[in-house]
Amino acid sequence: MPHMLILGLGYAAGRIASRLEAEGWWVSATRRSAEGGAIAFDDRNAVHAAIASATHILSSVPPEGESDPVLAAYGPALAAAPARWIGYLSSTGVYGDVAGAWVDEASPTGGGRRGARAAADRAWAALHPQARIFRLPGIYGPGRSALERVAQGRAHRIDLPGQIFSRIHVDDIAGGVLASIARGPAGIYNLADDLPAHQNRVIEYGCDLLGKPWPPLLPLDKAGLSPAARAFYAENRRVANGKAKRLLGWRPLYPDYRAGLRALIG
């Protein structure tokens, strides 16, 4: 039986785990504490044993401060792991702001606000000959989408013409990771949908689906956004997904935000 060790069982990784378990895999996972059958991240003996026995390993843990906590704690063990597949869920934030241009896996990284993420991305890519890096844009899915923000009155439309983002449905992340396990070489892959779009279009479509009025169009400084939300609007790019399609045979189930949001309505 193949054994997937997931370091950090978060939103996207949990979806991947469910897919693998449905296919008969043994899945073990770490969390900050040993709950729900998980391995406590700080239980070094248990984590080392899991690394040594896993056929596949995936980390979804983001950097903390300036370092990657997984590499800081377990980097040497992971570098020597006998696993035949190692994956890391990274971010398209490593590309920084490119004024709305397209980026692909060969584009420069490290020039944006996420310096620690870019450093972790590079470190994971160099860690192991079987490493796969999945660079992800904004993630949405059940319980985490524009529909919840619209329904709760938290949605905003920001007056920034030309501001473009890519996004990915959580089930398409799972599909891309499973496609990489089934076929395709080690390397870096962007997993993004086919239609980069202004965030206002996503909010407007969510409002239309729920029969709600569109929020007012506001300048960024008047929208009352958190620092993290404001930083989201500081970058502007379109993410190309052609490499994953060519080498992994992956196709997004939800090729644009309209298809993804319609599916969430049921």
pLDDT tens digits along 233-262: 889 999 999 999 999 999 999 999 999 999
Of 138, 193, 177, whose CA–CA distance to 16 is shortest?
A: 177
CATH code for residues 3-264: 3.40.50.720
Q: What per-residue confidence (pLDDT) applies to 112?
A: 65
Q: Domain-by-domain residue ranges, the chain?
A: 3-264
**Mean residue pLDDT across the chain:** 95
Judged against a pLDDT cut of 90, whether residue 82 lies above it is answered with: yes
Q: Are 239 and 192 in contact (CB under 8 A)?
A: yes
Judged against a pLDDT cut of 90, whether residue 211 lies above it is answered with: yes
pLDDT, mean of residues 8-19: 97
